[in-house]
């Protein structure tokens, strides 16, 4: 769409010039009259420069371009007019020279241009418009050393400055108009909530969304397509990913154990492990000498508690969380968590220990109460370590997310790239997967690029309209 919008903006700028030329011809004006006041070259450049994927960024670039052109243009005009006044009235010489003039006519003006360029930079810095300095210098030089001879001959060199500024403003306005125009869609399935499984995109806690993912997520929000993220992570490790991303819906985190409002930093709902079940689990873990990190939600803050550290993996995990945002990490006795339900357990152990934990739980009645997820430790500095997360088994039913959809009259579209989030597909009205998933009529997408394309197709497709 950016390519199409750029093409359209340039075409409109050129047609404006054609229209002005046609009016001038009808009015029997000078053949160069249109070119004196509107330059399609500069208008088209400004339009192309101001086209961006979203309206906010486009407005920022448009402002940047106009401010830059005004700064560079006005300084150039003042320099040219002042030079012409002094040279013509005091020294009876010619006005501002063109690039084809004799060498002796160029030396003083070019020295003045070099010195005055410092003024352009100083103004940009003083106005805190550092991003506009390059374009300001470009405008300044195009007027002072690359002025059009036709304009210079008829209305003076200063006229080229006004021509440059006005052409830029028109080009920017054209770009903003084109960027604001939206093609009407006959069908919009506004009752769909697209839950994108973000696990599988990133490999480490410190990773960030690449530009493509951020751009696509922002584009969906700009199109008012209801989108959220589904993740095994906590706000501690996913909130930094959203600094440049707009998500209008609450994030489904901790594999469906919590619904987190990213704008107000509040947990809208949680699904905890009941206290009596957690006591039994604690006993099982004590029997095999495993110390877990227990996670609680207290006053809308994730509280991570561990009795003591047993291995290097646990120490590294504790170090990474003790000063992190969106959580409170404590070691040893903590009266605040006494008698409270546990949101989930996290254990950092070797693969052999993980197998023992799974066997211990699966051979007890707790297998009907708990859900276990195992995956590799992010940023592993110790070999053969695994993360073992233990949740209330009901997260597999995604009751929290279902209730949110029911309350807001939404149908769920699940998008998953890893089997850790397979239960998202199990509970979705429409499933989009990047792996083989045969439990329902699944839409296959080999990559995240294809997943985002599928979102648009589903959103605008009559096939997925809600039945009356």
The Cα-based distances of 365 to 287, 297, 360 in angstroms read: 16, 26, 10
Which of 183-187, 197-201, 399-403 is the most confident on average? 399-403
Residues in a beta bridge with 202? 199
Whole-number percent of the chain with pLDDT over 70: 87
Identify the band that residue 298 occupies on the pLDDT scale cut at 50, 70 and 90: very high
pLDDT of residue 391: 97
The reply to whether 238 falls in a domain is yes
Q: Are residues 163 and 33 in the same domain?
A: yes
23-43 average pLDDT score: 74
Single residue among 126, 150, 180 that ends a domain in this structure: 180
Alpha carbons 423 and 453: distance in angstroms, whole number: 22
Identify the band that residue 31 occupies on the pLDDT scale cut at 50, 70 and 90: low
The reply to whether 185 falls in a domain is no
Q: Are residues 380 and 458 in the same domain?
A: no
Q: Of 152, 9, 16, 142, nearest to 84 (Cα)?
A: 152
3-class DSSP assignment, residue 212:
helix
pLDDT of residue 255: 93
Single residue among 131, 146, 180 that ends a domain in this structure: 180
- Measured in degrees and rounded to the nearest 5, phi and psi for residue 297 equal -105, 115
Q: How many domains does the chain have?
A: 3
The Cα-based distances of 115 to 76, 86, 133, 254, 270 in angstroms read: 12, 18, 15, 61, 65
The reply to whether 47 falls in a domain is yes
pLDDT by residue (tens digit) across 355-384? 999 998 999 999 999 999 998 776 555 667
The reply to whether 187 falls in a domain is no
In the predicted structure, residue 161 carries a pLDDT above the cut 80: no
Whole-number percent of the chain with pLDDT over 90: 35
pLDDT of residue 412: 95
- Mean pLDDT computed over every residue of the chain: 84
Q: What is the sign of the dihedral through the CA atoms of 391, 396, 401 and 402?
A: negative
Residues 6+ apart with CB under 8 A from 301: 326, 327, 328
In the predicted structure, residue 458 carries a pLDDT above the cut 70: yes
In the predicted structure, residue 399 carries a pLDDT above the cut 80: yes
Using CA atoms of 292, 298, 300, 306 in order, give the dihedral in degrees to the nearest 10. Answer: -20
In the predicted structure, residue 13 carries a pLDDT above the cut 80: yes
Q: Are residues 287 and 139 in the same domain?
A: no
Q: Are residues 383 and 309 in the same domain?
A: yes
Domain holding 296, by residue range, is: 275-396
């Amino acid at each position: 769409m950016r390519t199409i919008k750029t093409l359209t903006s340039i075409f409109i700028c050129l047609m404006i010039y054609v229209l002005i030329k046609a009016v001038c011809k009808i009015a029997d004006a000078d053949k160069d009259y249109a070119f004196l006041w509107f330059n399609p070259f500069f208008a088209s450049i400004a339009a192309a420069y101001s086209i961006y994927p979203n309206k906010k960024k486009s407005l920022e670039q448009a402002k940047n371009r106009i401010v830059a052109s005004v700064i560079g243009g006005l300084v150039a005009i003042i320099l040219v007019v002042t030079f012409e006044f002094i040279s013509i009235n005091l020294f009876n010489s010619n006005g501002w020279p063109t690039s084809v003039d004799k060498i002796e006519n160029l030396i003083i003006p070019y020295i003045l241009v070099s010195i005055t360029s410092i003024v352009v930079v100083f103004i940009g810095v003083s106005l805190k418009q550092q991003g506009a300095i390059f374009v300001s210098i470009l405008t300044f030089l195009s007027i002072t050393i690359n002025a059009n001879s036709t304009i210079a001959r008829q209305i003076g060199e200063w006229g080229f400055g006004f021509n440059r500024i006005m052409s830029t403003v028109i080009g920017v306005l054209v770009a903003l108009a084109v960027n604001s125009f939206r093609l009407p869609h006959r069908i919009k399935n506004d009752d769909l909530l697209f839950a994108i499984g973000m696990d599988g995109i990133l490999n480490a806690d410190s990773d960030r969304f690449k530009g493509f993912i951020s751009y696509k997520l922002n584009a969906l929000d700009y199109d008012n397509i209801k989108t959220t993220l589904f993740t095994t992570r906590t706000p501690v490790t996913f909130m930094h990913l959203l600094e440049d991303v707009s998500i209008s819906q609450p994030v489904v985190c901790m594999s469906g154990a919590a619904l987190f409002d990213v704008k107000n930093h509040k947990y809208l709902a949680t699904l905890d492990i009941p206290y009596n079940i957690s006591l039994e689990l604690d006993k099982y873990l004590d029997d095999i000498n495993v110390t877990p990190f227990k996670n609680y939600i207290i006053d809308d803050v994730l509280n991570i508690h561990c009795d003591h550290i047993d291995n290097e993996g646990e120490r590294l995990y504790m170090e990474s969380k003790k000063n992190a945002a969106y959580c409170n990490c404590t070691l040893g006795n903590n009266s605040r968590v006494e008698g409270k339900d546990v949101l989930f357990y996290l254990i950092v152990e070797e693969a052999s220990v993980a197998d023992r934990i799974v066997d211990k739980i699966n051979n007890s009645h707790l297998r009907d109460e708990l859900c276990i997820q195992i995956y590799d430790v992010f940023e592993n500095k110790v070999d053969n370590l695994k993360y073992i997360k233990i949740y209330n088994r009901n997260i597999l039913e995604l009751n929290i997310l279902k209730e949110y959809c029911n309350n807001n009259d939404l149908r769920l579209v699940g998008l998953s790239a890893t089997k850790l989030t397979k239960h998202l597909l199990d509970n979705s009205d429409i499933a989009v997967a990047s792996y083989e998933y045969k439990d329902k009529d699944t839409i296959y997408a080999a990559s995240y690029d294809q997943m985002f394309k599928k979102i648009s197709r589903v959103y605008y497709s009559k096939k997925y309209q809600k039945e009356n």
